[in-house]
Structure 1
């Protein structure tokens, strides 16, 4: 009986090995069948992000000698989940999206973007020049336009600013609208669809080509405290040597004429700078002092 059981066990083991050998192997990462995927958040005009992103993917493919393609996420949260689900290995994330991705999935920052020679920026609250709104208190009872609940400058920081000035962003507005992108918020305020809106400084420039008088018709009511710039992040299980190759390749791309043009197209980026997670320590302290918790901030706005 023992011998029969041994033979049966051996048979199961051999069968398991045979099945394992027959199981299809996933193509290597970076191959045509299994490309590296870069995900982009929808913080600007989708066509521009797509065009600049594809340029960057092509340049990175050549540098790494690997196939790279892009994924333009439908929302900030979708970009985070794409990285968490292994559907994207590289993410161009804003501050709040990165903090969430880092906390939930261990996503690691490798580069910060540079604009105006700085790795920080600010948010703003805008209104029509003829609205009669002169102070943050005047926003009570008005229609407010947000970018997205995971937008740092178009949601989080303006909410902190409003609360500090006696305006409750959850109860003091007649209505709130998630416009989906910074240019959309500017257009909504310009067209009078919203009385006020929150964007990065100065998102009005992103629509100036189509609306040449936007800076006359739409004015800045208030600005927020400093915010770390958006970044380039990678999933935690990417091999360490590949993470470093990606970082170095993107730094080299950012120094080239083709790369500069692609970065400008995708998010008006002027350069890239090497950083690690400590880059966000000051912002985390500011967030903690405000009384907000990350898990509360990522809930959809009312």
Structure 2
């Protein structure tokens, strides 16, 4: 059955203010009175995301003259809700959240992120070395850490992988924990708070600075098929000229030292590729084949 993302908080990000309400409200979008909220999903270290997100917002402001305000939402679902409510015209949405937001309220992708030279990535299922877990079938009766119910590699795809291996993620696990970010999943598995977890490849590198032996203590037991990368997406109310200015500014700053550093910190991004919605069609087909009903989830 389709995962139920409704367990995640769905309120709009707390940083949203009356002034940012809306494309269709009073005032022109991107002025000091009506700054454009650019919302980020909390997939990594929240403090790092907000600091580098604010830097990116400032660079876009300098290049476009638009007023931009960055925030990190409380959950993946909160970004979707904020975009659909007109409270966040720009969203740095992960793959599954984008597909949901597109279905729900016409949110449209402009850029896919690039890492390691391409616009695709894979997910992994990791296990604590001492857990005795060597295969997906060994997860029965174990504690599993997920990222967030709308995380593509940290929830949606690994659940499909578990089912294919004969493990029902709703019934066969001893306990499921929602860790909130990929870093948190790795740390929980490292410390033994969870026997196993699901993240992108290779989230262990993101915490290696604090846990130098993480790759010895936390093993990869399975890898997913390729997944299209996360997005920079726009609410449908965003005027084409505003959208073009922001997209061009992001493409420019991704070629500059300061911009490269901020993108690396925010989500380990190397650059961007211009894409349209059809870039995600193959992935939609995979979800459909696995019984994930996007139309139903978007209601």
TM-score after normalising by structure 2: 0.89
Aligned to 1:97, what secondary structure does the other structure show? Answer: helix
Structure-2 residue corresponding to 1:161: 161
Q: Tell me, yes or no, if the aligned pair for 1:97 and 1:150 is still in contact at 8 Å.
A: yes
Structure-1 residue corresponding to 2:88: 88
What are the within-5 Å matches in structure 2 for residues 96-107 of structure 1? Answer: 96-107=96-107
| Inter-partner Cα distance in structure 1 for 2:189 and 2:142 | 12
Aligned to 1:134, what secondary structure does the other structure show? Answer: coil
- 1:240 positional shift: 1.3
Aligned to 1:162, what secondary structure does the other structure show? Answer: helix
Structure-2 residue corresponding to 1:293: 293
Q: Tell me, yes or no, if the aligned pair for 2:103 and 2:298 is still in contact at 8 Å.
A: no
- 1:295 positional shift: 5.6
Q: Tell me, yes or no, if the aligned pair for 1:150 and 1:297 is still in contact at 8 Å.
A: no
Structure-1 residue corresponding to 2:42: 42
- 1:26 positional shift: 2.2
Q: Tell whether 2:269 aligns with 1:269.
A: yes
- 1:28 positional shift: 2.0
Structure-2 residue corresponding to 1:172: 172
Structure-2 residue corresponding to 1:229: 229
Structure-1 residue corresponding to 2:65: 65
- 1:296 positional shift: 6.4
Q: Tell me, yes or no, if the aligned pair for 1:41 and 1:73 is still in contact at 8 Å.
A: yes
What are the within-5 Å matches in structure 2 for residues 15-164 of structure 1? Answer: 26-164=26-164
> Is the deviation greater in 131-140 or in 147-156?
131-140
What are the within-5 Å matches in structure 2 for residues 219-258 of structure 1? Answer: 219-258=219-258
| Inter-partner Cα distance in structure 2 for 1:115 and 1:77 | 24
Q: Deviation string for 1:183-225 (max 9, x for gaps)?
A: 0000110111111000000001111111111011101010111
Q: Tell me, yes or no, if the aligned pair for 1:156 and 1:297 is still in contact at 8 Å.
A: no
> Is the deviation greater in 282-291 or in 75-84?
282-291
What are the within-5 Å matches in structure 2 for residues 203-222 of structure 1? Answer: 203-222=203-222
Q: Tell me, yes or no, if the aligned pair for 1:102 and 1:108 is still in contact at 8 Å.
A: yes
| Inter-partner Cα distance in structure 1 for 2:180 and 2:298 | 14
Q: Tell me, yes or no, if the aligned pair for 2:137 and 2:165 is still in contact at 8 Å.
A: yes
Structure-2 residue corresponding to 1:6: none
Matched positions, count: 275
> Is the deviation greater in 139-148 or in 242-251?
242-251
Structure-1 residue corresponding to 2:17: none
Residue 290 and residue 146 in structure 1: after superposition, are their counterparts in 2 closer, same or farther (change >3 A)?
Answer: same
Coordinate RMSD, CA, aligned: 1.4
Q: Tell me, yes or no, if the aligned pair for 1:149 and 1:298 is still in contact at 8 Å.
A: no
TM-score after normalising by structure 1: 0.89
